[in-house]
């Protein structure tokens, strides 16, 4: 996203070859395209993070139980986890 902002700030394609990029591939268009590409990759990173967290669920529950989050035993913690999983 920063690359698109820098291109727009310095009018790079238009400044290098005046008149060539008046309508297509001008800095403002590139700003929007690169912002969307950045948003897509940020979305993919969040999806991967959530998948990883889901795979680590047992380890996270074990850690919570060891630290004493108010649950008396593992079955109580697991039932709480499954009740709140889709909340």
Residues 79 and 48 occupy one common structural domain: no
Q: Do 62 and 69 contact (CB within 8 A), yes or no?
A: no
Q: How many domains does the chain have?
A: 2
Q: What is the mean pLDDT of residues 3-29?
A: 77
Q: Are residues 34 and 76 in the same domain?
A: no
Neighbours of 29 (CB within 10 A): 16
* Digit-coded pLDDT (tens) for 22-73: 777 788 888 888 899 999 999 999 999 888 878 877 777 777 667 666 666 6
Q: 42 lies in which domain range?
A: 1-55
How far is C-alpha 73 from the chain's CA centre? 35
Q: What is the rounded distance in angstroms from the CA atom of residue 6 to the CA atom of residue 11?
A: 8
With beta carbons less than 8 A apart as the criterion, state whether 56 and 39 touch. no
Tokens of 51: 């998948």
Do 30 and 68 reside in the same domain of the chain?
Answer: no
């Amino acid at each position: 996203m920063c690359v698109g902002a820098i291109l727009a700030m310095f009018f790079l394609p238009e400044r290098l070859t005046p008149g060539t990029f008046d309508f297509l591939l001008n800095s403002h268009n590139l700003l929007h395209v690169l912002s969307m590409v950045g948003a897509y990759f940020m979305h993919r990173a969040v999806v991967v993070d959530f998948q990883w967290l889901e795979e680590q669920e047992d380890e996270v529950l074990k850690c919570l139980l060891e630290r004493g989050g108010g649950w008396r035993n593992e079955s109580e913690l697991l039932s709480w986890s499954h009740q709140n999983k889709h909340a």
